[in-house]
Amino acid sequence: MITELHVRGLAGVPEVQEGDDLARVLADAVHASGTALSDGDVLVVTSKIVSKAEGRSRRMDREDAITAETERVVARAGHTRIVQTRQGLVMAAAGVDASNIDPGTVLLLPEDSDASARALRAGLRERLGVNVGVVVSDTFGRPWRIGQTDVAIGAAGLRPLEDLRGTPDNSGQIMEATVNAVADEVAGAGELVKGKTAGIPVAVVGGLAEMVTEEDGPGAAALVRPADADLFRYGSRDVVPARRTVRSFADTPVDPALVRKAVASAVTAPAPHHTTPWRFVLVESPEVRERLLDSMLEAWVADLRADGFTEEQITRRTRRGDVLRAAPCLVVPFLVADGAHPYPDARRADAERTMFHVAMGAGVQNLLVALAMEGLGSAWISSTMFCADVVRKVLDLPEDWQPMGSVGADRPPREADDFVVVR
């Protein structure tokens, strides 16, 4: 157990230039400081000097640089963008820095901060003969908290995480969720002595020998939460645009629990007269699925032949149905308008039907957006609407269930069970 730390800034680090051997620069600063590094120390190095040495400065507009470094926009407010960078980090402005550098120039994050940390560690070992850990740090804002703090975006020779799950706490209770982000904690400690304006880009943290390893280790990449475990992967402004129609699917199974959670979101849609007109048939049986798609294809071909299409034209048109065959998951939404008012005149009867169709469309859109939030690609295909009798027969459903297309998905609260039928 770590009971004491010593943190000091490494003074005397000169202005770093493109092409500098950063390990040599820091080794020289250690010699000049008169205080040697020891085995088990950890150097916290601001990413800025790593980027400078690696030639990551660019003559370009800052906003253009942010766009170029962005893999995905998570959220935006005015000119502020929270993005996922090409390196997989979620942060403000893609880490693009325009402070304390030449006007018109921006500084990008290191291309691979873990690789940078490994190279710097190896260089320091070669020059100083010590086994130290290296953390490359950058400044992050945090959800729910005011202010910024430094975190690790690269690491080598340091266990980045301390997993305490399965161990007892002081009262004997088994911890189930505690994983300490050691590398981030070290980065924050280093920032206390580096500061933003002190001109000290490197801190030395002593007392962590039990966390420093002979191997480089997994690096700071281990701190990046996987997309499927990230409850806040999408910002609120990006929820609806996250839905995209997918035309090709992976062949990996889809977790049925995720689909049911998406259905639970679907049935929060508005509906007329306090009704619940949505039903979602999850076609989980391979045999039922095959029979449904074969029967729909047969009906489609019969319609096309009756319309005078040639066999070649029919083959070309029906090829579009392959999208549903390729999807690992198939959901067929149905409209059940059992709460509709029976108006005697055509005008109001038409309006009543339209109302229910609008509600059903909202439910389907909710389903598609919710699937996207669960990391599932989807495609809404209208084909079931053209052969409603066939669909009802294969799925053994009542005559008043009206199919409203079908949804293929390739990969999570009103309960969904009341609205789900499984065949």
Q: Which of 28-37, 121-130, 137-146 has the highest mean predicted lDDT (pLDDT)?
A: 121-130
The three-class DSSP label of residue 319 is helix
pLDDT in tens, 325-356: 888 899 999 999 999 999 999 999 999 999 99
Average pLDDT, the chain: 90
- What CATH number does the domain containing 157 carry? 3.30.1330.100
- What CATH number does the domain containing 376 carry? 3.40.109.10
pLDDT at residue number 31: 93
Look at residue 86 and tell me if it is in a domain. no
pLDDT at residue number 204: 97
Q: What CA–CA distance (Å, rounded) separates 143 from 146?
A: 8
* Mean pLDDT value of segment 10-34: 94
Q: What CA–CA distance (Å, rounded) separates 192 from 187?
A: 9
Stated as kind and residue range, the H or E segment containing 367 is helix 346-373
> Nearest to residue 157, comparing CAs of 132, 182, 139?
132
Look at residue 31 and tell me if it is in a domain. yes
pLDDT over 90 percentage in the chain: 68
> Nearest to residue 392, comparing CAs of 324, 332, 313?
332
* Mean pLDDT value of segment 19-23: 97
- Say whether both 206 and 176 belong to one domain: yes
Of 190, 209, 229, the one marking the end of a domain is 229
pLDDT at residue number 307: 94
- Say whether both 124 and 196 belong to one domain: yes
Q: What CA–CA distance (Å, rounded) separates 131 from 192?
A: 24
Burial of 278 (0-12, 13-18, 19+ CB in 10 A): buried
pLDDT at residue number 211: 94
* Mean pLDDT value of segment 56-82: 88
- Say whether both 121 and 20 belong to one domain: yes
Look at residue 248 and tell me if it is in a domain. yes
pLDDT at residue number 139: 94
- Say whether both 294 and 413 belong to one domain: yes
pLDDT at residue number 199: 81
- The sign of the torsion formed by the CA atoms of 81, 83, 89, 93 equals negative
pLDDT at residue number 206: 95
pLDDT at residue number 21: 97
Of 229, 260, 280, the one marking the end of a domain is 229
- Say whether both 276 and 398 belong to one domain: yes
The four Cα atoms 399, 405, 411, 414 give a dihedral, to 10 degrees, of -60
Total domain count, the chain: 2
The CA R_g of the chain, rounded to the nearest whole Å, is: 29
Which parts of 92-213 fold into alpha helices (H)? 113-128, 182-194
Between the alpha carbon of residue 203 and those of residues 194, 278, 358, the distances in Å are: 6, 60, 61
Phi, psi (degrees; rounded to nearest 5) at 386: -90, -5
- Say whether both 346 and 290 belong to one domain: yes
pLDDT at residue number 391: 97
Look at residue 254 and tell me if it is in a domain. yes
The residues facing 294 across adjacent strands are: none
Of 166, 197, 229, the one marking the end of a domain is 229
Q: Both tokens of residue 78? A: 């005015």
Q: Is 200 in contact with 10 (CB distance < 8 Å)?
A: yes
Q: Which of 84-98, 204-218, 364-378 has the highest mean predicted lDDT (pLDDT)?
A: 204-218
Enclosing domain of residue 126: 6-56+110-229
Look at residue 94 and tell me if it is in a domain. no
* Mean pLDDT value of segment 171-176: 84
Higher-pLDDT residue of 90 and 232 is 90
pLDDT at residue number 175: 84
- Say whether both 169 and 200 belong to one domain: yes
pLDDT in tens, 251-293: 778 889 889 999 999 999 999 999 999 999 999 999 999 999 9
pLDDT in tens, 301-316: 999 999 999 999 999 9
- Say whether both 149 and 18 belong to one domain: yes
- Say whether both 219 and 244 belong to one domain: no
- Say whether both 247 and 214 belong to one domain: no
pLDDT over 70 percentage in the chain: 95
Q: What CA–CA distance (Å, rounded) separates 59 from 102?
A: 9
Q: What CA–CA distance (Å, rounded) separates 131 from 28?
A: 17
Stated as kind and residue range, the H or E segment containing 163 is strand 162-163
- Say whether both 222 and 258 belong to one domain: no
Is pLDDT of 235 > 70?
A: no
Higher-pLDDT residue of 245 and 107 is 107
- Say whether both 310 and 189 belong to one domain: no
HSE-CB at 151 with a 13 A cutoff on CA atoms is 18
Look at residue 80 and tell me if it is in a domain. no
Look at residue 73 and tell me if it is in a domain. no
Q: Both tokens of residue 47? A: 């990413």
Look at residue 65 and tell me if it is in a domain. no
Q: How confident is the model at residue 42 (pLDDT cuts 50, 70, 90)?
A: very high
Lowest mean pLDDT among 105-109, 232-236, 384-388: 232-236
Other Cβ atoms within 10 Å of 146 Cβ, number: 6
pLDDT in tens, 363-411: 999 999 999 888 888 999 999 999 999 999 999 999 999 999 999 988 5
